[in-house]
Amino acid sequence: MVLWWIGNAILLIVVLPVVIALLNRVLAALERIRGAADQILAGGGALAGELTGLPEALAATDAAVHDVAVGAVRYAGSVAKLLG
């Protein structure tokens, strides 16, 4: 019975503070992650408001990519004739 009381005392004096300290560190990290996630969400919401002209910009980009692709195919054809 005495060993039982000694074990309980060791549990309360040594193990419980260690568990509480580790839990405190985990919860602090969780709060930092939550704060970062909130900032990311706010930034994403602000970014979504800036996307009003995106379809027109993508249409212009698609046209530019098509023009570059046509020029690259023409260039590759000429180089193939010279090397072939």
pLDDT at position 11, please? 84
Read off φ and ψ for residue 20, nearest 5 degrees.
-65, -40
Domain boundaries, the chain: 1-52, 53-84
Per-residue pLDDT tens digits for 33-46: 999 999 999 999 88
pTM exceeds cut of 0.85: no
Q: Report the distance separating Cα 44 and Cα 66, nearest Å.
A: 30
Residue 55: Cβ within 10 Å count = 9
Side-chain-facing half-sphere of 31: CA atoms under 13 Å: 6
The more confidently predicted of residues 4 and 50 is 4
